[in-house]
Structure 1
Amino acid sequence: MERQPLFDNAKFAAVALVVCAHTWMPLLAADRVVGAVVLTVAAFAMPVFITLCGYFAQPRPGRPQVDGARLIAQLVVPYLVFQVLYNVVGMVLERKLGPIPLLEPRWLTWFLLSLLLWRLSVPLWTALRHPLPVAVLIALGSGALHAFPAELALGRTLGFLPWFVLGLVLRPRHFELLRRLAVRRLAPFGLLLTFAAVWAAHPYLLDAGWLEYTGTAAQLGVGYPVWLTVRIALGLLSLLAAASFLAVLPAGRLRWTSLGAASLYVYLLHGLPLKALQASGVYHARVLRHAWTALPLYGAFALGLAVLLALPPSVRLLRPLVQPPVERLLRQPGVLHREA
C-alpha cells in the first residue's frame, strides 16, 4: 500500500499531541485551563492513533488477516523489552525492588498489549455483518464489571476497542468526506466545542480516569447508568473531535510528514525523558503551574521531544529497542521489511 501523506501527518500529529498531554498531565489539577486542554487532547489523540492502527490492520490481498511473524516482531517482542525496561526504571525511581509482571502493563506498554489483542481479533470483526455496533456494546457493557483487573490492560483494551474496529470498517471515501471544503471550514468549531464541553465539565464532573478508560462504574464511584451516560457522551464528543482533527490536517506532503513513519518510536520512548523530567522536580516550580506558562513551555518541550525521537538518526540508534532483531526466531524474516 502506497504511503499517503494525510495518514503520516495524522500519525505524527496525534502522537505528538499524546506526548504533549503526558507532559502536561502532572499539572492537571493545578490550573483549570491546563486541565481542560489536557483532557481535550486526551479525548481525540489516542482515539485517532488507534483508529489509524485499525485502518492499516484491514485485511489485504495476499496477506493473512493475522500475520504471526509481524505480530511477534512488531508487538510481542517490543512489549517484552519495554515492559522490562519500564519496570526496571520504575524500581530505580521508586527505590523499590520487586517482580516484573509480564501481563500487567507498566506505563505506556498497555498500548502494545492492547494492540496485540485487537490485531488477533481482526478475523472476528471481519466475519461480522455489523462489527462496530458490537464493539460499542462490548465497550459500554464493560463498565458494569466490578473492577478491571490489571492484567492485559483490560479497561483500555475494551474501552478503546470501538476505535480500532472503526478503523477496520473505514474506507477511503470516508476520509474523502473530511477533505470537503465545508467540512474543513466547520472542523475548528468542532474542536472548540469539544474544549468548551470539557472545560465546563472539568474538574467537577470529569477527570482523567474517564478519558483513560481505566475505571468501571464502581471504580469511578458512580452508578452504572451514570457511567453509561457519561461514556456515551464522551464517545460522541471524542468522535466529533477526532473527525475535526483529521479534517483540519493538511493532506499534502510537509516537511514533517516523513516523521509519521516513526510514530511508534515516539510513543514508546517518550516516557523515559518524561519520567526524568518529573523526577527533576521542575513541576514544583510555581511559575510553571499556570496556563500561560505551562502550556507553551511544556508544550514546546514535548513537541521538540517528539520530533527528536522521530528523526532518522534517532530511529537508527533506537531501532534495537523498538524493533529488536528477531529474524532468527521467524520462519519468514522477510515480512519484517513491510510496514506495520
Structure 2
Amino acid sequence: MSVQTAAARTTASPPAHLPERQPLFDNAKFAAIALVVCAHTWMPLLEVDRTVAAAVLTIAAFSMPVFITLCGYFARPRPGRPPVDGGRLISQLAIPYLVFQLLYNLVGMALEKRLAPIRLLEPRWLTWFLLSLLVWRLSVPLWTALRHPLPVAVLVATGSGAMAAFPEELALGRTLGFLPWFVLGLVLRPGDLATLRRPAVRRCAPFALASVFGAIWLASPKLLNPGWVEYTESAAELHVGYPVWVAVRFALAGLSLVAGAAFLALLPDHRTRWTALGGASLYVYLLHGLPLKLVQASGIYHARRLHHWYTALPLLGACALTLAVLLATPAAVRFFGPLVQPRLDWLLGPRSGEPVRADGQA
C-alpha cells in the first residue's frame, strides 16, 4: 500500500458540504512545514557559518508565513459553517495546546534538570502556534467585518514593536507579528493564487528565491538574532530604534512575500507521492520539537564537521526531511493521534464532534 493511499484512509472524510481537497494546498502545507523542521534543525548553527545563517534566515522568513497564510485561507467563512466554530477550536487547538504545553514543559524540566512552574498562558517551544492560531481564529469575525482588514492588521503588527517588551502570555510578539499573514489568507481569493500558476511567474520564481537568499546573505551579519524573523522581540529588546525596527520588519516582510509567492509558484498543483503527507502537517509541527531537543542536548552540534555549510546543510537537512516524512506517515498519525487529535465525543455535542482532517483543517 502506498503512503498516499494509506494516509487517505487514516484521514477522516470531509463533510459533504466541503469541496474536495486541492493537491496544491497539501503540497504547500507539507513542503512549508518540512522547511520549518529544516530551519529549526539548522538554527543552533546560526552563528557558525554565514551561508548557513543565510539559509536558515531565508527559510524562516517565508516558511512559517506561508503556513500561517494557508491557515488564514482555510479559516475564511464558508456557507453552512459559523465564522467561529467553538467545537472545532476546542478539538483542533485548545485541547492539543494544553496537552503539548504540559508535555513540552515536562520534557524541558527533564532536560534542564530542574522543576519550574507550568504557566498555561506562556507557550513553551512550539506551542505558541496553537495559542496564536486560536486567537487569530477567534478574531475572524472582526477582520471580515472591516472594509480593509489587511492594512489594519499591518498597523497593529507595526505598532506592537513600540512596546518595551513583549509579554510571554499568549505569545504576544508572534501573535501580533504574524497577524498580517493570517489576515492575508483571509482576504486571498482562488484567483489570486491562480496568478502564481502562470508560466511566466513560475519561470521567474527560482530567480526570485535566489535574489531573496542573496539579499539575506548580505544582511545576515545584522540579522543573527532570530527575533527578527521569529517575531519574538520588540525594538527595545533588539536594541534598535523603533524607526529602524519598522524599516527592517517591512523589508523582511517584502522579502518574505516574494519568497513565499515564488515557493508556491514552484510547487506542483497535481497529486504527488508526498501530497497526502500534507494532511498531517500539524503532527509534523507539534512532534518534531521533541527529537530536536534531545539531539541538541546530546552535544552533536559541537562537532567540527558541522561547522561548514557544505556539511551542515545537506547532512542535517536530510535528517530533518526524513523526520518530517516519518512524522507524517499513517503509522505516526495513528500512534500520536490521541495526543494531536484526541477524540472528544464525550465532551462536545454531535455537530462539534464531527470528524476533522489530520491537519486540523476542515
TM-score, normalised with respect to structure 1: 0.99
1:104 matched to 2:122? The reply is yes
Question: Are residue 217 (structure 1) and residue 238 (structure 2) matched?
Answer: no
1:270-285 matched pairs, under 5 angstroms: 270-285=288-303
CA contact (8 A) 1:79 1:112 kept: yes
SS for the counterpart of 1:337 is coil
2:268 is matched with 250
Equivalent position to 1:87, from 95, 101, 105: 105
1:147 aligns with 2:176: no
- CA 191–270 in structure 1, closer or farther in 2 if over 3 Å, else same: same
Superposed CA offset, 1:162-215 (max 9, x none): 000000000100110000000000011111111011100011355311000001
2:62 is equivalent to residue 14 of structure 1:
no
Residue 28 of structure 1 corresponds to: 46
Output the TM-score relative to the length of structure 2.
0.93
Kindly indicate whether residue 284 of structure 2 is the aligned counterpart of residue 266 of structure 1: yes
Is 1:194 matched up with 2:212?
A: yes
State how far apart, in whole Å, the 1-side matches of 2:258 and 2:43 are.
Answer: 23
Residue 52 (structure 1) aligned to one of 70, 86, 97: 70
Partner-residue secondary structure (3-state), 1:324: coil
1:124-139 paired onto structure 2 within 5 Å: 124-139=142-157
Distance in 2 separating the partners of 1:169 and 1:141 = 21
Runs of 4+ aligned residues of structure 1 deviating over 3 Å after TM superposition are 333-336
The one-letter amino acid of 2:179's match is L
Deviation sequence 1:99-129 (CA, Å, 0-9, x none): 1000000000000000000000000000001
Helix, strand or coil at the partner of 2:222: coil
Give the whole-Å Cα distance in 2 for the aligned partners of 1:242 and 1:72.
Answer: 30
Instruction: Classify 1:250/1:165 alpha carbon distance in 2 versus 1 (closer, same or farther; 3 Å).
Output: same
Contact 2:47/2:224 (8 A) holds in 1: no
Equivalent runs, 1:247-326 vs 2, <5 Å: 247-326=265-344
- After superposition, the C-alpha distances for 1:16-58 in whole angstroms (9 at most, x for unaligned) are 0000000000000011100100000001000000000000000
Code of the residue aligned with 1:40 in structure 2: it is T
Give the whole-Å Cα distance in 2 for the aligned partners of 1:227 and 1:151.
Answer: 22
- Measured in 2, the distance between the counterparts of 1:98 and 1:280 equals 22
Q: 1:325 offset after TM fit, Å?
A: 1.9
Which whole-Å CA distance do the structure 1 matches of 2:258 and 2:349 have between them?
Answer: 44
Cα–Cα, structure 1 residues 205 and 324, in superposed 2: closer, same or farther, change >3 Å?
A: closer
Q: 1:287 to 1:55 in 2, by over 3 A?
A: same
Aligned pair count reads 340
Alignment partner of 2:270: what SS? coil
Question: Alignment identity in percent?
Answer: 72
Partner of 2:84: 66
- Aligned residues of 1:148 and 1:216 also touching (Cα < 8 A): yes
Q: Is 1:181 equivalent to 2:203 in the alignment?
A: no
Does the CA-based 8 Å contact 2:54-2:213 persist in structure 1? yes
Q: 1:159 to 1:229 in 2, by over 3 A?
A: same
In structure 2, the partner of 1:204 is: 222
Q: Which 10-residue stretch deviates more, 314-323 or 202-211? A: 202-211
In structure 2, how many angstroms separate the alpha carbons of the residues matched to 1:15 and 1:56? 16
Gaps of 5+ in 1: none
Q: Alpha carbon RMSD of aligned pairs, Å?
A: 0.9
CA distance in 2, matches of 1:141, 1:177: 31
Write the distance in 1 (CA, Å) between the matches of 2:223 and 2:261. 24
C-alpha change, 1:53 and 1:26, in structure 2 (3 Å) is: same
Q: 1:172 to 1:318 in 2, by over 3 A?
A: same
Question: Is the Cα contact below 8 Å between 2:46 and 2:224 reproduced in 1?
Answer: no
Task: Say whether the 8 Å CA contact 1:73–1:336 is kept in structure 2.
Answer: no
Q: 2:182 aligns with which of 155, 164, 175?
A: 164
Measured after TM superposition, the shift of residue 324 of structure 1 is 1.3
Mark the runs of 5 or more structure 2 residues left unpaired by the alignment.
1-18
Counterpart among 39, 49, 61 of residue 43 in structure 1: 61
Q: Which amino acid aligns with 2:280?
A: A
**How far is the alpha carbon of 1:288 from its aligned partner?**
1.4
Q: Distance in 1 between matches of 2:278 and 2:141?
A: 27
Residue 131 of structure 2 corresponds to: 113
Structure 2 CA distance for aligned equivalents of residues 257 and 135 of structure 1:
32
Amino acid paired to 2:315: L
Q: Is the 8 A contact 1:198 1:206 kept in 2?
A: no
**C-alpha separation in 2, matches of 1:332 and 1:128:** 32
Q: Structure 1 residues 259-268 or 286-295, which shifts more?
A: 286-295
